[in-house]
Chain A
Amino acid sequence: MSVTLRPKSRTPRHVDVDMTTTLGSFVAPDPVFTASGCAAAGRELATYNDLSLIGGIVTKSIKLHATAGRATPRMAETPSGMLNSIGLQGPGVDVFISRDLAWLEEHDVRAVVSIAGTSVEDYGKLASKLRGKALSMIEVNISCPNVEDRGQVFACDPVAAADVITAVRRSSTPGVPIFAKLSPDVTDIVAIATACVEAGATGLSLINTTLGMVIDTSTMRPLLAGMTGGLSGPAIRPMALRCVWQVHAALPDIPLMGVGGIRTGLDAFQFILAGASAIQVGTVIFNDPGAPQRVSQELREVLVSRGLSNVAEAVGLAHRPRQDPPAPTVSEGPPVTTPPLADRDDRSDASNSSDIEAASFDDDLEVLMFNDAEDA
């Protein structure tokens, strides 16, 4: 019978990888989170994942008051991605706290609460409401139109972005990590990132969706009721990776969360190499509701296969100068510090290594390596 239930356990036995990652004062036991808007408030995904094992749930951006969202159609599938124009439908922060945040706490799921507003004051009030609540972090969704500035999106203006972060910092529980989630639809993302950090952001989540459009060729009108929508999924992964790379290069001490089309452990690894301390799985959850836990397990295997014993030492590794001694790579065979792979029985020393047991992978690793070579 070839039918197996997910989540399939693919963790190699006896392999010790420290998946801990540090996001300001929040030390997460795992670097994989869900992305805001792709996991609701977590509850629905508990059927498909052990949510206490991943880093946490980044909840759907919550506003001060109940929001019905936009008209339908709200969604269009696009090549390796999708467009959405939901309009931040949600119950409002009070119901969120009493119902959703309480559920997450009760089930030992770490909560990163995403907040969204249409004025600087909204964001400050939201932060006040969340003061002292059971949450690990606040993520500030600044890709929202500012009603006080003719609908200009906060994330596209360094001053407006900084104003929001200042307001959130001032009203939040002292010391709580605050991450600003940035839009890629800007000329200079480093300028926005710097403004947020100077205003008190602990770190940055990179990136939010990028604006896109689909036209229905039957009706000859925009397909989405909202005309334009946010493009997400693997289609934007290279763009997200570029943003993480640029911001890490400019602000190497600032923790980053990489977001954008992450589908596999190798995708997550690219973001970590580019400088992300943690990653978020988003749109891919719609394809595979078990993706958060799967990506975490795959990432663990990726780290092991490269002889890395913890996440932290991989963060930003791709930025090292070329003349440095090469980091361990799989394609050239495991270095001496790496446990040899069980299926590489062509290695003469494989049979007498005490590490063999530590490297008893299932067959999937070979596939993993092959994919990596293709991706490279």
Chain B
Amino acid sequence: MPVQVKGEVLNVKPVGGYYSMTVVASGIAERTKPGQFIAVAVGGDDGAMLLRRAFSIYSVRETGVYGGTVEFIFAVTGKGTAWLSRQRPYDPIDVVGPLGRPFALPREPANCVLVGGGYGSAPLFLLADALRTRGCRVDAVLGASTGDRMFGALDAKRMAASVAFTTDDGSYGERGRVSDVLPDVIDRVHADVIYACGPMPMLEAVQRVAGAAYGGAGIPTQLAVEESMACGIGVCMTCVLPVVGSDGNTRMVRSCVDGPVFAGDRIRWDALGTVPADAVGASS
């Protein structure tokens, strides 16, 4: 169960092209599973920005001098994230979490490839810990537009048996996209499952590679999507995407409570941003 916590900022620091914020928010850390997110109120109790900002949980600390803490990574993309970047230690901050469905973990030790795009890699480090605890092999592919937008390169080198880096401009690692190097990684490590988080076009490309793996036999994926949210808790119905259910029917499901992690082969990639005509309740 998520909790709403009036916490306070422990620290905010620039990390490459991003920011890291750690908040003291008791009750969230001990409940967090890899892939879950928090929804942070911005602008203060009296401010003009009403919608919470959703961020993947990067790391948690259950106990310590300050009590439970939660760390997340953000890019300044608008007024809300600019406000966050200006917060200072001891400033109050209202956090709801942990929210959403976490990554499903393999029951048996498996070879796992973790793919991150930009700061979409943030939730993959908690995941790597959980996978390695279960005896899984972890390899990573991290991509970004430029080197300073690569998040967690050092972490990745530490936790993964191998890491491949790609940037659009070649300023860090290979020039290209994660989906360019992913097929080789799958074959080299005999991957059993792919986990990914990042922009939707990247996730779509990852799913395409996964579907074509092993001569078309395919490989299961667990993808954490980035859809625009208003509430993060399942009441507003704005973060929907078309997903095929176990009954074979497509429904517009909420990425905040039914996701953000989905099996990649369930997402209707061809119909993102639309309501497909065969969706349950689509106007004919």
Contacts and interface: CB of A to CB of B under 8 A. Distances in A.
Interface of A: 1-6, 8, 38-40, 44-45, 47-48, 60, 65-75, 77, 79-82, 84, 86, 89-90, 92, 225, 233-234, 283-290
B257 A44 contact: yes
Interface in B231-253: 231, 233-238, 240-241, 251-252
A2 B93 CA distance: 11
Given A4-B6, A71-B275, A86 B238 contact: yes
B234 A40 contact: yes
Main secondary structure of the interface of A (DSSP, over half): loop
B112 interface: no
B281 A286 contact: no
B20 interface: no
Contact of B50 (A44, A225, A286): A286
Contacts of A234: 48, 50
B273 interface: yes
B280 A79 contact: no
Nearest to B240: A72
Contact of B231 (A1, A67, A289, A290): A289
A66 B279 CA distance: 10
Given A44-B257, A68-B282, A284 B231 contact: no
Given A6-B4, A233-B50, A84 B275 contact: no
B50 A82 contact: yes
A73 B4 CA distance: 27
27 contacts: A2-B6, A2-B92, A3-B5, A6-B5, A44-B235, A47-B1, A47-B2, A47-B3, A48-B233, A66-B281, A67-B281, A68-B251, A69-B237, A73-B228, A75-B230, A75-B238, A77-B51, A86-B236, A86-B237, A89-B237, A92-B281, A283-B50, A284-B50, A286-B50, A286-B231, A287-B50, A289-B235
Contact of A5 (B3, B273, B275): B3
Given A68-B280, A82-B230, A89-B240, A5 B27 contact: yes
B211 interface: no
Nearest to B24: A3
B47 to A, nearest CB: 8
Interface in B89-123: 92, 94, 96
A71 B268 CA distance: 13
Interface in B31-59: 41, 48-52
Given A47-B2, A286-B51, A84 B236 contact: yes
B274 interface: yes
A74 B235 contact: no
A82 B41 contact: no
B4 A289 contact: yes
B51 A287 contact: yes
Given A3-B67, A288-B41, A65 B230 contact: no
Contact of A71 (B50, B230, B233, B274): B274
A1 B50 CA distance: 27
A38 B236 contact: yes
Contacts of B96: 48, 289
B25 interface: yes
A290 B7 CA distance: 15
A38 B27 CA distance: 25
A80 B252 contact: no
